[in-house]
Structure formats: C-alpha cells, structure tokens
C-alpha cells in the first residue's frame, strides 16, 4: 500500500505555493461529498413525472434530516462551481494551460460537470426545471439534418415528459463517476509534470505533498465547509428559484426562464444573439474558448502587467454577464449584453497574443 500511495503522498511540491493552489484539491473533495449526499437522496426519490415533485416534498418535510441533505446537495452544486471557477481562474492568471493535456482534461471535466448540474436541476420536476429542460433541449435542433430526431430521442416522445426524466436520472447518476475517472487522470497527469508555482520558476527547494500540503488542503476544506454550512442554514433557499417550488405545469410558462447563477454568463450570451444557430454556437464558444488558450506562445514563463489587467477585466466582464443573465430581454440590457459578449471573446483573443 505504501508503494502505491508513494507517488501521491511523496510527490515533490514547490515550496512557494499559495492559497490558489488549494482550490483543485478542495473541488475534488467537494465532488466526493456531492456524490455521497446524492446517494442518500436517491434512495428516497421517485423519478416519475407524476411522483418526482411530491417525493422531493416528502424528503424535505417527512424524512428525518431529509431537508438538510436535499438542501446541501442542491446548494452544494453552487459551491462546487464557485470553487471550480476559482481553480480555472487561477490556471488562467498564472498561465498554467502550458500543461496541455492537464488543461484539456480539466476543461472536459468542467463541460461534463455542466451537463451533470443541468440534468440534476431538472430532476425535482419543478416549474423552472421543466421549462429549462424544454428550452435547453430545443437547442439541439440546430444540428443539421438530424436535429429534430435527436430532440425526440432525448425527450423519449414529442415533449419533455416521464421518459425524459428517467433518462436524465440515469445520466445524472452515471456521469459523476466518469468525472471521478477524469479527475484521477487529471491528477495523474499533473503529478507526472509536478505542480507549478506562482513565480513560474523551477525551485530546487521542494516539500513532500504529505504532510505539508495535504494538511493545508484539509484545513481549507474544513473552513469552507463551515462557511458552507453556516450560509446554507441561514440562507438555505436564497439560490433556489421561487418557480421551482411549484410543480411542473406544461400549460403555464414562467415569466422569466433562467438557469442557475453559474450558467448565467453563457445564457446571457446565448439569448442576446437574435439568430438561433449563432446564439448556440456563441454559447458553446463561451465555454470552449478556454481551449483556445493552448494556442498561446508559451516560450516566456513570466507574465506582464498587461496580461494581469486583461485578466481582471475579463473577471469583471464575466460578473457583468452573470448579472445580465438574470435581467429581462429588453433595453438597455440587450445592448449591454451584446457589448459585454463581444468584449468577453476579445479579451480571450487578447490573452492569446500577449
């Protein structure tokens, strides 16, 4: 056992790592915790279009500590994405995408986690869940020739219904295990290169991952977990859309259909483009643009102040787009979203040439 764990616990790590290098480990721990919480919820949940919403109510009101597990799992996704965005932001800021394969696997994990979170959002079968599923799955119609057939296959019928819910549950249950496999590959590739550091140097002084950094990761996780529990117990339902407390009704459309906050930046880009095909392509590009950073010239390890300024402007634009994703599609929000979307892509292009 010691020989098996030695490549992990005995990994030499640069001594000058700062707090930003802990977000990857913390996100991995949160992933495992989410899977465990999901297991305890799934044994009580009924995945049928006529029973799913009532089973969520039963878990919340009639099951011992069911409200806590349901609330922690639903809101845990928000914290998981928050930590993941910090992890991705650190990678961009310190130009860690020079480890090509590690970066590609990381982006793939991010994309699959988006799918898992979206599918999980549909399972409670609330009003916003149903219509979000209807809107997002309809985007598949842009696929040439077979788009409408793909939609019917995903739905399992001529509209979002019970077959859709069953298929989404199967995917939501299985995809996290694929994510775990990809995370292990991500770690193995990272350990084959060893971790980088804030200065981009190759220092001679290195420490063993265990105890130094393993204990540091664990302490940060405990701190974040405490804040997470405190926030959830005090403001548990703040990030759950009020429409999702109403059972799904195909005959009534919500006034504003919107995803969770961690998808709002992409949603703002999607709905501010009048053409459907162009909007979907822009939506995909807003996520896959991370892969374009691999085109950057990485001969120089150090980064300039201009690159730093560009990064913080990008963060500001991302936050503005997240806010605009919740705003109604009317002036001046439409025009501001279009301008912010253009700036968003230009900033990434600028990063490549810096």
Quick one: pLDDT band at residue 4, thresholds 50, 70, 90? very low
Considering the candidates 44, 48, 210, 216, report the single residue annotated as catalytic. Answer: 216
How far apart CA 172 and CA 129 sit, in angstroms, is 14
How far apart CA 41 and CA 62 sit, in angstroms, is 13
The whole-number pLDDT of residue 230 equals: 83
- 258 within 8 A of 267, measured Cβ to Cβ: yes
Query: Is residue 5 scored above 50 in pLDDT?
Result: no
The whole-number pLDDT of residue 10 equals: 55
Is 217 part of the annotated catalytic residue set?
A: yes
The whole-number pLDDT of residue 1 equals: 42
Q: Average pLDDT of 162-174?
A: 90
Is 195 part of the annotated catalytic residue set?
A: yes
- 105 within 8 A of 45, measured Cβ to Cβ: no
- Residue whose entry in the numeric block shows the structure tokens 């030499």: 12
Considering the candidates 260, 286, 337, 341, report the single residue annotated as catalytic. Answer: 260
Pick the residue with more confidence: 264 or 255?
264
Pick the residue with more confidence: 116 or 45?
116
Encode pLDDT of 149-158 as tens digits.
999 999 988 8
Is 247 part of the annotated catalytic residue set?
A: no
Pick the residue with more confidence: 55 or 14?
55
Q: Average pLDDT of 235-239?
A: 75
Quick one: pLDDT band at residue 12, thresholds 50, 70, 90? low
Is 243 part of the annotated catalytic residue set?
A: no
Q: Average pLDDT of 285-301?
A: 78
**7-11, 301-305, 321-325: which has the highest mean pLDDT?**
321-325
Quick one: pLDDT band at residue 104, thresholds 50, 70, 90? very high
Considering the candidates 217, 241, 243, 247, report the single residue annotated as catalytic. Answer: 217
Going from the C-alpha of 27 to that of each of 24, 50, 106, 190, 222, the distances in angstroms are 5, 35, 12, 15, 12
The whole-number pLDDT of residue 240 equals: 80
Query: Is residue 227 scored above 50 in pLDDT?
Result: yes
The whole-number pLDDT of residue 81 equals: 92
Considering the candidates 191, 206, 210, 296, report the single residue annotated as catalytic. Answer: 191
> In 94-159, where does DSSP find H-type helix?
100-122, 127-138, 147-155
Within 10 angstroms of residue 222's Cβ, the number of other Cβ atoms is 11
Q: Domains in the chain and their CATH numbers?
A: 13-257 (1.20.810.10), 265-354 (no CATH)
Q: Mean of the per-residue pLDDT values for the chain?
A: 83
Pick the residue with more confidence: 201 or 57?
57
Query: Is residue 2 scored above 80 in pLDDT?
Result: no
Encode pLDDT of 184-224 as tens digits.
898 888 877 766 666 665 655 666 666 666 777 788 888 88
Considering the candidates 78, 195, 286, 341, report the single residue annotated as catalytic. Answer: 195
């Amino acid at each position: 056992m010691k020989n098996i764990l030695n490549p992990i616990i005995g990994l030499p790590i640069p001594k000058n790592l700062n707090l930003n290098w802990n977000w990857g480990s913390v996100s991995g721990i949160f992933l495992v915790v989410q899977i465990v919480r999901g297991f305890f919820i799934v044994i009580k949940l009924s995945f049928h279009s006529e029973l799913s919403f009532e089973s969520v109510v039963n878990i919340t009101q009639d099951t011992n500590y069911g409200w806590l597990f349901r609330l922690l799992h639903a809101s845990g996704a928000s914290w998981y994405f928050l930590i993941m965005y910090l992890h991705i932001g650190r990678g961009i800021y310190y130009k860690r995408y020079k480890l090509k394969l590690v970066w590609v696997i990381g982006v793939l994990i991010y994309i699959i986690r988006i799918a898992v979170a979206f599918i999980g959002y549909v399972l409670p079968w609330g009003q916003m869940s149903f219509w979000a599923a209807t809107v997002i799955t309809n985007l598949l119609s842009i696929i040439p020739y077979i788009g409408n057939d793909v939609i019917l296959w995903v739905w399992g019928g001529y509209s979002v219904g019970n077959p859709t819910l069953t298929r989404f549950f199967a995917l939501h249950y299985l995809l996290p295990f694929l994510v775990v496999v990809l995370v292990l590959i991500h770690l193995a590739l990272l350990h084959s290169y060893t971790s980088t550091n804030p200065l981009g140097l190759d220092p001679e002084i290195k420490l063993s991952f265990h105890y130094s950094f393993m204990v540091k990761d664990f302490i940060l996780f405990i701190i974040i977990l405490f804040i997470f529990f405190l926030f959830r117990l005090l403001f548990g339902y703040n990030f759950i859309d009020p429409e999702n407390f109403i059972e799904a009704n195909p005959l009534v459309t919500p006034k504003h259909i919107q995803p969770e906050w961690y998808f709002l930046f992409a949603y703002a880009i999607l709905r501010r483009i009048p053409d459907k095909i162009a909007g979907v392509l822009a939506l995909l590009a807003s996520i896959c643009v991370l892969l374009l950073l691999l085109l950057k010239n990485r001969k120089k390890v150090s980064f300039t102040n201009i690159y730093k300024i560009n990064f913080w402007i990008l963060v500001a634009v991302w936050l503005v787009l997240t806010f605009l994703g919740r705003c109604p599609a009317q002036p001046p929000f439409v025009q501001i979203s279009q301008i912010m979307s253009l700036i968003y892509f230009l900033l990434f292009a600028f990063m490549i040439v810096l």
